Amino acid sequence: MFVYKEYDQELLDNQYNTRLHVPEYADYFERWEQLSRETEQGLPVIKDLSYGSLPRERLDIYPSVQPGSKTLVFIHGGYWQTLDKSMFWFIANGFHSYGVTTVLVTYPLAPEVSIDQVVLSCKKAIQWLYSNLSAFNGDPDQIYVAGHSAGGHLAAMLMATDWKVFDSHLPTDVLKGVCAVSGLFNLVPIQRSYLNAVLKIDAETAKWNSPVRLEPLSTCPLVVAVGEAETAEFKDQSKEFYSCWKDKGADVQLLQLPGQNHYSIAEAMVDNQSSLHQGLRELMELK
């Protein structure tokens, strides 16, 4: 019996089991942790700044040496239920030499909180940064957001936010650019997959948290990136989101990276020879 498109339960679960398709995923995690330790030792960092009242509403800032710098806010993945900002400190190393302040965000996880709360926490992080970035050499009027996997979903949800409604003190264009890497933009298949045993989202929650069903309320440029070695569903997620938001008038670009899988693409973000790093530099207008 089909549960989504042409997929039965086993095939759908297979499409979203990223570790099954990249058996060496633990090697990536180990390398990210090593690269992040090296970044922590090599660059100045301010850790565990609180942007809200919940225990995991914390962020780390790797400030540029120059005041008024462009700021890249990175949102990690982990299917909204695992991982932490500290594994991704290495992202800062890919942009520090360009004079960028990098912010790594941690957010509350399922099943302790709902996906609605996860989205809300990320909005609160942007709200806090707009008010406080200048104290860490960042320019609140030059905030860019990137996210990987579930973080790509959260980055897109930020772009679908009416910031004036959320906080009347925020500008409508608080985001100057967004990059969603290997993201999840339609949560209907997620809600029907094995992942929902932890997420516990119902059909309506899946719909209103699906960027493909929302409007691109931020008019900033958007880069949607996916690896060509990812599963058909992950590639379809990005392609359908790109097409949907392009039809809605978004300034959107699709990057399909040859040879990149769901984990290697995170490293491509900081490889200045990769088309993804180049796309991020162009998005942020870095020299």
pLDDT value, residue 242: 99
Question: 107-138 burial, b if ≥16 CB within 10 A, otherwise e?
Answer: bbbbeebbbebbbbbbbbbbbbbbeebeebbb
Write out the residue range of the structural domain in which residue 21 sits: 9-283
Ordered DSSP codes for 65-103: SSTTEEEEEEE--STTTS--GGGGTHHHHTTGGGT-EEE
CATH of the domain at 263: 3.40.50.1820
* Residue 2 covered by a domain: no
* Residue 116 covered by a domain: yes
Question: Cis link prior to 140 (omega < 30° from 0)?
Answer: no
The residue ranges of the chain whose pLDDT is under 50 are: none
pLDDT value, residue 83: 98
* Residue 3 covered by a domain: no
Number of domains composing the chain: 1
* Residue 69 covered by a domain: yes
The residues, any chain, with a CB within 8 Å of residue 98's CB and separated by 6 or more, are 281, 284, 286, 287
Ordered DSSP codes for 122-187: HHHHHHHHHHHGGGGTEEEEEEEEEEETHHHHHHHHHHT--HHHH-TTS-TT-EEEEEEES-----
Read off the pTM.
0.98
Question: 125: closest CA among 199, 60, 201, 77?
Answer: 60
Question: Would you mind telling me the total number of residues written for the chain in this entry?
Answer: 287
The residues, any chain, with a CB within 8 Å of residue 6's CB and separated by 6 or more, are none
* Residue 201 covered by a domain: yes
Residue range 76-135, pLDDT digits in tens: 999 999 999 999 999 999 999 999 999 999 999 999 999 999 999 999 999 999 999 999
* Residue 86 covered by a domain: yes
* Residue 4 covered by a domain: no
Cα distances (angstroms) measured from residue 128 to each of 113, 124, 170, 177: 20, 6, 10, 18
* Residue 186 covered by a domain: yes
